[in-house]
Amino acid sequence: MTTSSYAVLALLDLRAWTGYELTNQAQRSLRYAWPKSERLLYSEPKKLVARGYATTHKEQTGNRTSNVYEITEAGREALAAWTRTRTHAPRIEVEALLRLLFADHGSIEDLQRVLDELEADIGEQHDSVVELMASYFDSGHPFPDRTHLSVLFATFQIETLQSILRWIEFARSEIDQWPTTKDLGMTERTEALTRLLGEGQFDLNRAQPADD
Amino acid sequence: MTTSSYAVLALLDLRAWTGYELTNQAQRSLRYAWPKSERLLYSEPKKLVARGYATTHKEQTGNRTSNVYEITEAGREALAAWTRTRTHAPRIEVEALLRLLFADHGSIEDLQRVLDELEADIGEQHDSVVELMASYFDSGHPFPDRTHLSVLFATFQIETLQSILRWIEFARSEIDQWPTTKDLGMTERTEALTRLLGEGQFDLNRAQPADD
DNA sequence: CCGCTATTACTGCAACTTGCAGTAGCACTA
DNA sequence: TAGTGCTACTGCAAGTTGCAGTAATAGCGG
Q: Is A92 helix (H, G, I), strand (E, B) or coil?
A: strand
Please say whether the beta carbons of A6 and B106 come within 8 A: no
- Please tell me the distance from the alpha carbon of residue A18 to that of residue A24, in angstroms, as a whole number: 10
Which residue from A209, A96, A202, A190 is spatially nearest to B130, judged by alpha carbons?
Answer: A202
A138-150 residue pLDDT tens: 888 889 999 999 9
Residues of A in contact with B37 (CB under 8 A): none
Cβ within 8 Å, pair A93-B97: no
Q: Please, which residues have CB within 8 angstroms of residue B127's CB and are 6 or more apart in sequence?
A: none
**CB neighbourhood size of B167 (10 A):** 22
CA distance linking residue B94 with residue A199, whole number of Å = 27
User: Do A22 and A11 contact (CB within 8 A), yes or no?
Assistant: yes
pLDDT in tens, B70-124: 999 999 999 999 999 999 999 999 999 999 999 998 999 999 999 999 999 999 9
* CA dihedral over A89, A123, A158, B183, signed as positive or negative: negative
Residues in chain A: 212
Cross-chain Cβ contact A35/B92 below 8 Å = yes
Q: How many CB atoms lie within 10 A of CB B69?
A: 25
Amino acid at B78: A
Long-range own/partner contacts, residues B57-62 (CB < 8 A, 24 or more apart): B59/B18
Each of the 212 residues of chain B gets a pLDDT tens digit; together they read 999 999 999 999 999 999 999 999 999 999 999 999 999 999 999 999 999 999 999 998 888 899 999 999 999 999 999 999 999 999 999 999 999 999 998 999 999 999 999 999 999 999 999 999 998 888 888 898 999 999 999 999 999 999 999 999 999 999 999 988 876 777 889 989 999 999 998 998 877 665 54
Sheet holding A54-61, edge to edge: A17-18, A64-71, A54-61
* CA distances from residue B59 to A51, A212, B17, B65 in whole angstroms, order as listed: 49, 51, 11, 5
Selection from A57, A61, A63, A27 nearest residue A42 by Cα: A27
The pLDDT, as a whole number, for residue B47 is 96
Q: How far apart are CA B21 and CA B68, in angstroms?
A: 9
Q: Which of A98, A104, A153 sits opposite B146 (nearest CB)?
A: A104
- B170 CA, C13 C1': separation in Å? 46
Preferred mutation among B148, B170, B174, B196 to probe A, highest tally of A CBs within 10 A: B148
Select from B207, B165, B136, B21 the least CA-distant residue to A192. B136
**Separation of alpha carbons A161 and A138, rounded Å:** 23
B204 has a chain A CB within 8 A of its CB: yes
Q: What integer pLDDT is reported at residue B125 of this predicted model?
A: 94
Strand C atom within 7 Å of B52 CB? no
Please tell me the predicted confidence (pLDDT) of residue B183. Answer: 67
Residues 151-190 of A with CB under 8 A from B: 151-156, 158-160, 163-164, 166-167, 170-171, 174-175, 178, 181-187, 190
CB within 8 Å of chain A, chain B residues 43-72:
none
Contact A47, B108 (CB under 8 A): no
User: Which chain B residues contact residue A166 at CB under 8 A?
Assistant: 159
Domains of chain B and any CATH numbers: 3-83 (1.10.10.10), 95-206 (no CATH)
What residue ranges in chain B does DSSP mark as E strands? 17-18, 54-61, 64-71, 91-93
Contacts 24+ apart (CB under 8 A), A95-99: A95/B3, A95/B33, A95/B34, A95/B87, A95/B88, A95/B90, A96/A121, A96/B87, A96/B90, A97/B32, A97/B33, A97/B34, A97/B153, A97/B156, A98/B3, A98/B6, A98/B7, A98/B10, A98/B30, A98/B33, A98/B34, A99/B83, A99/B87
Cβ–Cβ < 8 Å for B40, B29: no
**Residue A72, pLDDT score:** 97
B-chain residues near A88 (CB < 8 A): 95
Long-range contacts for B51-56 (Cβ within 8 Å, ≥24 apart)?
Answer: B51/B1, B51/B78, B53/B9, B53/B78, B54/B9, B54/B12
Q: Do B98 and A10 touch (CB under 8 A)?
A: yes
Which positions in chain B touch A183 (Cβ < 8 Å)? 145
* Rounded-to-integer distance, Cα A130 and Cα A167, Å: 20
Extract the residue ranges of chain A whose pLDDT is less than 50.
212
Inspect the interface and report whether the beta carbons of A99 and B88 lie closer than 8 Å.
no
- Residue B210: its pLDDT value, please? 53
Tell me whether residues B10 and A140 touch, CB distance under 8 A: no
Please give the pLDDT value at position B95.
98
